[in-house]
Amino acid sequence: MTAPNANPERTRPSRSACVESVSQRRLVRAAQAECWANFHVMKIFIIFLFSCAGLFGAETGIRVVSMGQTNVGYMGVYAKDVFTRDGQTNLIHITKIDATGAVLQIYHFYHAGQLVGNFVAFPDDHTFNTEAAPYCMSLKFGPTGEIRSARIGDKDGVPLDEFSYTNGVFSPVEDPFRRGGLMKPKFGDEKRNQH
């Protein structure tokens, strides 16, 4: 039963008010998605700037090509940097940022066209592995256990390529061939066999 003074037309919103409300909600959601996408695209852009800052203006054989993609539907951001030295790919850096803001960084290290090693940086963990190749690869650590660089060498440990690790990002060293020393120590039997 309705109250004698109640008007059913007044208590129910009009059809046009409902349509306006639905379209306003859609606009708000679209604006939120666009804002989220713009925020994460800017994060990727900043990562690109920091990872490539040492390469801008450098007159070396190192080049970088970068691409980025935002997928609003999956609420993720993807970026890829391909570093080349004298026309050959020597580092591929992939950054993925999910909807929670967690950053995953993947590095593929190459020498002479062959994949030599991989480094994956999860938000709370790091993984490093090498591939079956005629090259060796190692990470160099500082006194407190922080990663300083990654190096690729020939089967005897003679350094061929180096990548610095600064602010959580690997990038090719401009001239790795000036740094002396072997990557692998020579033990007594190995030293005698060389003479």
Contact 120, 105 (CB under 8 A): yes
pLDDT above 50 for 39: yes
pLDDT surpassing 70 at residue 3: no
Residue 63 has pLDDT above 80, yes or no: yes
Q: Determine if residue 97 is left, alpha or beta; phi over 0 gives left, psi from -120 to 50 gives alpha, anything else beta.
A: beta
pLDDT at 6: 54
Q: How large a percentage of the chain has pLDDT more than 90?
A: 28
Record the tokens describing residue 54, joined without a space. 């040492």
Q: What are phi and psi of 59, to 5 degrees?
A: -95, 70
Q: Locate tokens 């909807």: which residue?
A: 99
Average pLDDT, the chain: 75
Distance CA 156, CA 185 (A): 9
Give the Cα separation of 40 and 32 in Å (integer). Answer: 12
* Beta strand extents in the chain (DSSP E only): 62-71, 76-85, 88-97, 103-111, 114-121, 126-130, 135-141, 147-154, 159-166, 169-172
The pLDDT value given to residue 100: 80
pLDDT band at residue 174 under the 50/70/90 scheme: confident
pLDDT of 58 > 50? The answer is no
Residue 166's nearest CA partner among 186, 144, 141, 149 is: 149
Interval 125-143: pLDDT, tens:
899 999 988 899 999 999 9
Are residues 81 and 169 in contact, defined by beta-carbon separation less than 8 angstroms?
Answer: no
CA distances from 72 to 78, 81, 142, 188 (A): 11, 21, 40, 59
- Name the more confident of 85 and 44: 85
Radius of gyration of the chain (CA): 27
**What's the pLDDT score for residue 60?**
53
Report if pTM > 0.75: no
Side-chain half-sphere CA neighbours of 195 within 13 A: 5
User: Which three-class secondary structure state does DSSP give residue 36?
Assistant: helix
